[in-house]
Amino acid sequence: MARSRTLYRTLAALLAIAVVVVLAIRLAGVDESEAPSAPLEANTAAGDDALVDRGHYVALAANCASCHTRPGGVPFSGGVAFETPFGTIYSSNITSDARHGIGKWTSADLRRALHEGIAAKGYRLFPAFPYTSFTKITDQDVSALYAYLRTVPADAYSPPANGVLFKQRWAVAVWNGLFFRPGRFTPDPTQSAEWNTGAYLVEALGHCGACHTPRNVFMAEVPAKAYQGGSLREQVVEGKSRDWSAVNLTPSAAGLKSWSVEELAKYLHGGFSPRAGTFGPMNEVIGHSTSNLKVEDAHAMATYIKSLPVGGEAGTPLTAALVAPGEAIYRDHCQKCHGTSGRGGMFAGPPLAGSAIVQAEDPASLVNAILYGAAPTKGVSLGAWETMRPYADVLSDSQVAALANYLRGTWNNHASRVDVAMVSKQR
Q: For residues 171 and 263, which has the higher predicted lDDT (pLDDT)?
A: 263
**Three-state secondary structure call for residue 298:** helix
Closest of 82, 132, 131, 136 to residue 284, by C-alpha: 82
pLDDT digits 0-9 by tens, 392-414:
999 999 999 999 999 999 999 99
Please report the pLDDT score of residue 27 as a whole number. 29
Q: Which domains does the chain have, with CATH numbers?
A: 4-183 (no CATH), 223-426 (1.10.760.10)
Mean per-residue pLDDT, 140-145? 98
Please report the pLDDT score of residue 3 as a whole number. 38
Give the Cα separation of 266 and 377 in Å (integer). 15
Angle ∠(84,89,94) on CA atoms, nearest 5: 135
pLDDT-derived band of residue 166, with 50, 70 and 90 as boundaries?
confident
Q: Which of 44-58, 138-152, 192-206, 410-424 has the lowest mean pLDDT?
A: 44-58
Give the Cα separation of 42 and 111 in Å (integer). 12
Give residues with Cβ within 8 angstroms of 257, minimum separation 6. Answer: 251, 310, 354
Give the Cα separation of 304 and 295 in Å (integer). 14
Angle ∠(171,173,179) on CA atoms, nearest 5: 105
Dihedral sign computed on CA atoms, order 387, 272, 199, 70? negative
Give residues with Cβ within 8 angstroms of 117, minimum separation 6. Answer: 124, 125, 127, 129, 131, 132, 135, 172, 176, 180
Closest of 218, 211, 210 to residue 177, by C-alpha: 218
Give residues with Cβ within 8 angstroms of 380, minimum separation 6. Answer: 270, 271, 272, 277, 278, 283, 286, 287, 291
Please report the pLDDT score of residue 383 as a whole number. 78
Q: Please answer whether residues 146 and 110 qualify as being in contact, where contact means their C-beta atoms are separated by less than 8 angstroms.
A: yes
pLDDT-derived band of residue 31, with 50, 70 and 90 as boundaries?
very low
Give the Cα separation of 135 and 117 in Å (integer). 8
Please report the pLDDT score of residue 48 as a whole number. 87
pLDDT at 29 over 60: no
The model carries a pTM of 0.87
Closest of 142, 59, 1 to residue 68, by C-alpha: 59
Q: Please answer whether residues 235 and 244 qualify as being in contact, where contact means their C-beta atoms are separated by less than 8 angstroms.
A: no
Residues in the chain: 427
Give residues with Cβ within 8 angstroms of 6, minimum separation 6. Answer: 217
pLDDT-derived band of residue 12, with 50, 70 and 90 as boundaries?
very low
In terms of C-beta density within 10 A (0-12 exposed, 13-18 middle, 19 or more buried), how is residue 47 classed? exposed
pLDDT-derived band of residue 179, with 50, 70 and 90 as boundaries?
very high
Give the single-character DSSP code of 377.
P
User: Which amino acid would we find at residue 134?
Assistant: F
pLDDT digits 0-9 by tens, 314-365:
677 899 999 999 999 999 999 999 999 999 988 889 999 999 999 999 999 9
- Residue 29 falls in which region: left (phi positive, over 0), alpha (psi -120 to 50) or beta: left
Give the Cα separation of 13 and 254 in Å (integer). 34
Give the Cα separation of 238 and 243 in Å (integer). 15
Q: Please answer whether residues 418 and 401 qualify as being in contact, where contact means their C-beta atoms are separated by less than 8 angstroms.
A: yes
Please report the pLDDT score of residue 171 as a whole number. 86
Closest of 258, 290, 238, 284 to residue 377, by C-alpha: 284
Q: Please answer whether residues 165 and 87 qualify as being in contact, where contact means their C-beta atoms are separated by less than 8 angstroms.
A: yes
pLDDT at 36 over 90: no
